Amino acid sequence: MRADARRNYEKILATARVVFTERGTDSSLDEIAKRAGVGPGTLYRHFPTREALVDALMQDWTDRVASDADAAIATDAPAPAMLLDWFEHFIEHITLHRGAATKICAAMDDPASPMYRKCRVMGEANRRVIEHLDERGELRPGVDPANVMRLVSGVASVADTSRAAIEVRPMLEVVVDGIVRA
Amino acid sequence: MRADARRNYEKILATARVVFTERGTDSSLDEIAKRAGVGPGTLYRHFPTREALVDALMQDWTDRVASDADAAIATDAPAPAMLLDWFEHFIEHITLHRGAATKICAAMDDPASPMYRKCRVMGEANRRVIEHLDERGELRPGVDPANVMRLVSGVASVADTSRAAIEVRPMLEVVVDGIVRA
DNA sequence: ACCTGAACACCGTTCAAGT
DNA sequence: ACCTGAACACCGTTCAAGT
C-alpha cells in the first residue's frame, strides 16, 4: 500500500470512529469523507460498502469480546452471575456505536456480509462460555450457543434501536434463567 | 373527508400493503405513490411519515394479536406450550411485512411515534397473557410483562432482519424457560 | 496506483399552481 | 379542500481527468 493511500485509509477510519460515536453507524458517508478531507471516491476505494467500514472498526470490540470470554470462563462465580456479566459486557461492546448491534444481527447469519468473519469470532467466544457452562453441568439441555448469541444480540439491538434508555438487565435475567439448568 | 380524498387514502393504503408485502416496510414511498396513481404530495398529506403509513396497516395485526391473547388465556394447555404458541403467533403477525418488527421495537418505548398506541394495545394483550400465568402461579417471580414484550419483539426483529431463514422456536424456548416458574 | 470532484440516480419533502 | 407535479436537498455511487 502506497504511503498516501495508507494515510488516507487511517484518516478515514479515525474520522468514521468519531462520526459513528457522535451519530451512529448510519451517518452520512459523505460527511465522513468531507471531515476526513478526502473525496467520496477515496472512501469508496478503501471501503466499498458501509459494512466494510463498520467491519474495520469492529476489530477493537471483537478483541475485547474474546478476552471477556476468557475472563468469564476463568472466574468461579456462580453460573447466573457469570453469564449476566458476560452478556452485559458483550452488549456494551456491540452497542458502542448506535446501529451496530442491528447490523451485527443481520451479518451474523449472512456469510456474504463483510462483517461475517468478525461475527463468527464473537460467536466462537460465546460458544466457549456456554460450553464451559455445559461442562460444569449447569446448562439446560438443548440450548444451542448460536441461538444464545442471536438472543443476546437481539436484546442489544432492541436497546440500541430504542429512543428510550432501556435496561438490558431484566431481559438478560430472563435469558439467563432460560439457559441455566433449573 | 371528501370523497376523492377518501378514495386516494384507500388506494394508497391498498398499494402500500402490496408493496410492503413485496419489498418490506422500507420500500420507496415514491413508488407507492406512483403505483397508487397519486402525486407524492398526496401521499404526504395523508401519511406525513413512513411510520404513519405502517401504523395504518398495523390495525389488522393488532386485532389478531388481541384475539390471540384471548385464545391463549382461554386454553388449558400447560404454561410452556401455551406461551410458545402465543409468542409464535405474535411474531408471525408482526413480521408480516419485512422491517415491521424492528420498527415496532423502536416505537414500543417512544410515545412520540405514530405507532405507539397500537404497540400499547399489543403490549396490553401480552400483559394479559403473562398476568394470567401469574394468577395460575406459574410465573417466575420478578418477570415484567413489558420486558417479555421487548424480548419477544427482539426475537422477531432478529429473525426479520436476517437474510437467512432463522428458526424462532429455539430462541422462544429459552425465553419460555426463563419465564415459567421452575 | 491513487486521488479528486463533477455527474448521475434515487428518494424524501415542500410548495406554488390548479381544480 | 384537495390534488398535481415541478423543484429542492441529500446521499450513495461512478468515473473521467489528473498526479
Running DSSP on this structure, what letter comes out for residue B48?
S
Query: Chain A contacts of B144, Cβ < 8 Å?
Result: 170
Query: Chain A contacts of B175, Cβ < 8 Å?
Result: 151, 174-175, 178
Q: Tell me whether residues B162 and A102 touch, CB distance under 8 A.
A: no
Q: Is the pLDDT of residue A182 over 90?
A: no
Query: Chain A contacts of B171, Cβ < 8 Å?
Result: 147, 150-151, 154
Homologous superfamily of domain range A50-179: Tetracycline Repressor, domain 2 (1.10.357.10)
CA distance B52 to B110: 14
Mean pLDDT, chain B, whole residue set: 97
Q: Is the pLDDT of residue B70 over 90?
A: yes
Q: Tell me whether residues A174 and B106 touch, CB distance under 8 A.
A: no
pLDDT single digits (tens) B71-86: 999 999 999 999 999 9
- Cα Rg for chain B, rounded, in angstroms? 18
Residue A110 pLDDT grade (very low, low, confident, very high; cuts 50, 70, 90): very high
pLDDT single digits (tens) B23-38: 999 999 999 999 999 9
C-alpha cell belonging to residue B118: 397500537
Q: Is the pLDDT of residue B102 over 90?
A: yes
Residue A1 has a pLDDT of: 79
Query: Chain B contacts of A141, Cβ < 8 Å?
Result: none
pLDDT single digits (tens) A134-144: 999 999 999 99
Q: Is the pLDDT of residue B1 over 90?
A: no
Q: What percent of chain B has pLDDT over 90?
A: 98
Q: Tell me whether residues A171 and B151 touch, CB distance under 8 A.
A: yes
Residue B182 pLDDT grade (very low, low, confident, very high; cuts 50, 70, 90): confident
Q: Is the pLDDT of residue B14 over 90?
A: yes
**Nearest residue, CB atoms, B150 vs list A106, A147, A171:** A171
Nearest residue in chain A measured CA to CA from B166: A109
Spell out the domain ranges in chain B: 1-48, 50-179
Q: What percent of chain A has pLDDT over 90?
A: 98
Q: Tell me whether residues B144 and A106 touch, CB distance under 8 A.
A: no
Burial class for B170, CB neighbours closer than 10 Å (0-12, 13-18, 19+)? middle
Return the H-helix or E-strand segment holding A9: helix A3-23
Task: Give me the mean pLDDT over the B119-137 stretch.
Answer: 98
Angle A100-107/A79-94 helices, nearest 10 degrees? 110
Residue B82 has a pLDDT of: 98
Q: Which residues touch B63 (CB under 8 Å, ≥6 apart)?
A: none
Burial class for B16, CB neighbours closer than 10 Å (0-12, 13-18, 19+)? buried
Q: Contact B156/B95 with Cβ under 8 angstroms?
A: yes
Start-end of H helices in chain B: 3-23, 29-36, 40-46, 50-74, 79-94, 100-107, 116-135, 145-161, 169-179
Provide the b/e sequence for A140-176 (b: ≥16 CB within 10 Å): beebebbbbbbbbbbbbbbbbbbeeebebebbbbbbb
Q: Is the pLDDT of residue B8 over 90?
A: yes
Q: Is the pLDDT of residue B107 over 90?
A: yes
Q: In angstroms, what separates the C-alpha of B27 from chain A's closest C-alpha?
A: 17
**How distant is the alpha carbon of residue B46 from its chain centre?**
22
Q: Is the pLDDT of residue B168 over 90?
A: yes
Q: Which residues touch A54 (CB under 8 Å, ≥6 apart)?
A: A20, A25, A97, A100, A103, A114, A115
Bridge partners, B139 (sequence order): B180
- Asked whether residue A153's C-beta has any atom of DNA/RNA strand C within 7 A, the reply is no
Domain A1-48 in CATH 1.10.10.60? The answer is yes
Residue B50 pLDDT grade (very low, low, confident, very high; cuts 50, 70, 90): very high
Q: In angstroms, what separates the C-alpha of B124 from chain A's closest C-alpha?
A: 18
Q: Which residue is nearest to nucleotide C14 (CA to C1')?
A: B41
